[in-house]
Amino acid sequence: MSRRAIITGITGQDGAYLAKFLLEKGYKVFGVARRSSHFGVVDHRLRWLGIQNDVEIIDGNLSDLSSLYRIVQQAEPDEVYNLAAQSFVASSWQQPILTANITAVGVTNMLEAVRQIAPKAHFYQASSSEMYGKIQEAAQSETTPFYPRSPYAVAKLYGHWITVNYRESFGMHASSGILFNHESPLRGIEFVTRKVTDTVARIKLGMASKLHLGNIDAKRDWGHAKDYVVAMWMMLQQEEADDYVIATGRTTTVRDMCRIAFEHAGLKMDDHLVIDPKLFRPAEVDVLLGNPAKAKAKLGWEPTTSLEDMIIEMVDADIARLSSV
């Protein structure tokens, strides 16, 4: 019998890569997706990876507990990966209640469905480095105090702590991965790395002339999503559930990330970059730098893709996409 896994948020970047990884390990994969009249667009990441026919998609929503009960009953999972969220930080100021309902309370709904229907299943919660916010230590580890700086980060912090609480209250095998920024050619266009690589590709192809950004001196710890989904799986293979920081241990400014993209395309960044005050956040997170020592020691996990290689891959993928339009 193959192992069975549920992935909420399967149509997102991480969900798609995780589904491919689990399929290659022989899992039966069930994906939870919100009902949409545009599903042919929504599942484009699964189609890009060539796995759209290999996963079983089930309609459901983290805000609807009854749908989650039905999904867990149908899938009979060994593992549950809760990746679904309103995950765009900027939008959380515009939609704070939606963000709270999905990114925070939705975690409780998923945990409760698993606890009631499949209590022996191993559960993964996608926590976020944004929870550190106004950083309290130069390099953030599992013991660094949290100081969230956006409605998204506050909601993620609730999801993180309710996962810890279910583990301690009910003995569930529930782990959280505190993932630092992780990107890929499948990253949504609204996220800064993909906005950069897509616009650089458009400039290269003569389809645009300027890249508009906000705070380019913000620093982030960027890794590749393909590496990070492996860490998710590793957590659920452990005898005891726990929480892990997943990061590269290297921080880079948005400015330097942009320079890598422009230079790869043979362009001069200063000719095209425009700083737009409207794109600054109401409360900025200036620096994020993860300390992945625990994940390296206990899981044996290591990132394999450098920032430079990842950005080059993303620029090339966007040039290829736009050239085929």
Residue 264: phi and psi, rounded to 5, are -65, -35
Per the CB < 8 A criterion, the answer to whether 9 and 15 are in contact is: yes
For the chain, the helix, strand and coil percentages under 3-state DSSP, each to the nearest 5: 45, 15, 40
* Three-state secondary-structure class, residue 63: coil
- Closest by CA position to 128, among listed 151, 105, 111: 151
Report the greatest alpha carbon distance in the chain. Answer: 58
- For 69, residues 6+ apart whose C-beta sits below 8 A from its C-beta are 113, 116, 117
Q: Name the helix (H) or strand (E) containing 222.
A: none
Domains of the chain as residue ranges with CATH:
4-182+222-246 (3.40.50.720), 187-220+251-284+305-323 (3.90.25.10)
Tokens of 33: 């997706």
Which pLDDT value is given to residue 42? 64
Per residue in 159-195, pLDDT (tens digit) is: 999 999 999 999 999 999 999 999 999 999 989 999 9
- Closest by CA position to 196, among listed 317, 90, 292: 317
Taking the C-alpha atoms of 80, 83, 85 and 89 in order, what is their torsion angle to the nearest 10 degrees?
150
Per the CB < 8 A criterion, the answer to whether 80 and 122 are in contact is: yes
Q: Which residues of the chain have pLDDT under 70?
A: 36-42
Per the CB < 8 A criterion, the answer to whether 283 and 149 are in contact is: yes
b/e per residue 132-151 (b: at least 16 CB within 10 A): bbebeeebbbeebebebbbb
Global pTM value: 0.94
